[in-house]
Amino acid sequence: MKIIVADNYNALSQIGADLVIGLLKTKKNAVLGLATGTTPIGLYQKLIEAYKQGIVSFKQVKTVNLDEYVGIEKQNEQSYAYFMRKNLFDYVDIDLNNTHIPNGSAQNLQKECIDYSLLLTKTRQDIQILGLGSNGHIGFNEPFTAFDSKTHLVKLSQQTINDNARLFESKNQVPTHAITMGISEIMAAKRIILLASGKNKAKAVYDAINGGVNAKCPASVLSLHSNCTFILDRESASML
């Protein structure tokens, strides 16, 4: 596992974006695994800048997102589908038909998980971008999720609900369930980039890197991947 400690959030975002830009320059039809959360927003802004400067195009790019809340329609501003449009898709030349996000308001959620899993077997990520939960989760794979898990329905932990409450009007508006790509499907990516910024991620970063491979910290599985880079800022790296 490679660890890069950037000076600040802007530098972290640029380093992450440069890895994606490098891929898109050599592989126009790359598959990008995308993450939501506040951490990758800066990276997406850098990708938009690169697109506007004519450095990259998303015309042939396919994307697969990690996760989506259950019970929130994709038009809802709190959905991850809306997040992706407002933070990336609306500003680049991507074909929305090539973008994939689990449907958290599907009638049959179990079937949605199976269908998304099937899609992933045919759409392997060239790069998977990850954020990190303060409890070490990746996607919405909470502590003690099986490492061989595929796309599944999860009940969010109280810590995750508390962390994500800042993005809702009140804690009781935070969905209690989500659909997430499984750990084995994240690990199937050819390359993984995990971004972590800020002091509240320092313990999870420490556990992921120094705690040994342990289901208690899902991100610790990443040390078993052959091409994974952690891009941190000084605060998130402060316990290393």
- Residue 24 tokens read as 């898109």
Q: What is the smallest separation between the CB atom of 126 and ligand GLP, expressed in angstroms? A: 19
The four Cα atoms 153, 122, 48, 79 give a dihedral, to 10 degrees, of: -20
Catalytic site residue 67? yes
Please, are residues 140 and 130 in contact by the beta-carbon 8 Å criterion? no
Task: Please list every residue from 216 through 235 that binds ligand GLP, using CB under 6 A.
Answer: none
Catalytic site residue 142? yes
Q: What is the smallest separation between the CB atom of 40 and ligand GLP, expressed in angstroms? A: 7
Q: What is the smallest separation between the CB atom of 38 and ligand GLP, expressed in angstroms? A: 4
Catalytic site residue 135? yes
Catalytic site residue 18? no
Sequence-distant (≥ 6) Cβ neighbours of residue 43 within 8 angstroms: 13, 16, 17, 20, 129, 195
Question: Smaller CB distance to ligand GLP: residue 117 or 164?
Answer: 164
What is the total count of residues that contact ligand GLP (CB under 6 A)? 14
Question: Smaller CB distance to ligand GLP: residue 40 or 61?
Answer: 40
Task: Please list every residue from 16 through 45 that binds ligand GLP, using CB under 6 A.
Answer: 35-39
Binding characters for ligand GLP, 49-68, by CB under 6 A (x = yes): -----------------xx-
Strands (E), 181-218: 191-196
Question: For residues 141 and 129, what is the distance between their CA atoms, to the nearest angstrom?
Answer: 15
Please, are residues 24 and 54 in contact by the beta-carbon 8 Å criterion? no
197 CA to centre of own chain: 14
- Closest by Cα among 133, 75, 131 to 101: 75
The count of other CB atoms within 10 Å of the CB of residue 119 is 15
Query: Binding segment for ligand GLP among 22-30, 132-140, 208-216, 219-227 (CB under 6 A)?
Result: 132-140
Question: For residues 173 and 181, what is the distance between their CA atoms, to the nearest angstrom?
Answer: 23
Q: What is the smallest separation between the CB atom of 205 and ligand GLP, expressed in angstroms? A: 12
Amino acid at 202: A
Question: Smaller CB distance to ligand GLP: residue 57 or 161?
Answer: 161
Residue 140 in the binding site for ligand GLP (CB under 6 A): yes
Which residue from 15, 70, 132, 221 is in contact with ligand GLP, where contact means CB under 6 A?
Answer: 132
Catalytic residues: 67, 135, 137, 142
Contacts with ligand GLP, residue ranges (CB under 6 A):
35-39, 66-67, 131-133, 139-140, 160, 164
